[in-house]
Amino acid sequence: MSEKRIALVGIIVSSVQSVERVNAVLHDFGNYIVGRMGLPLRERGVNAISVVIDAGADVVNALTGKLGAINGVAAKAMFQAN
């Protein structure tokens, strides 16, 4: 496992049908999640979620990969500077 770092994961959910799958993936990674904030942008039909993770890069990349594989979901991670 790689060295633990703080990462911020930005998630945009543009398909209401995908919300349940996104929440299931986040639940699976719950041991690494420090905090989460979701903002429903109803007038645009989009949900924006930010998640702070304390984990190795391999875990963060696995999370963003699983989220990005869901239809109507985009996810990107930003890591703390070394």
pLDDT of 11-70, one tens digit each? 999 999 999 999 999 999 999 999 999 999 999 999 999 999 999 999 999 999 999 999
**Torsion of the alpha carbons at 50, 45, 65 and 30, rounded to the nearest 10:** 40
Q: Which pLDDT does position 1 carry in this prediction?
A: 62
Judge whether residue 82 has pLDDT over 80.
no
CATH code, 72: 3.30.70.1150
Judge whether residue 3 has pLDDT over 80.
yes
Separation CA 61–CA 38 (nearest Å): 20
Q: What is the pTM of this model?
A: 0.92
Q: Count of CB atoms within 10 A of residue 67's CB?
A: 25
Q: What range does the domain containing 74 cover? A: 4-79
**What is the domain count for the chain?**
1
Of 14, 15, 11, 39, nearest to 25 by C-alpha is 11
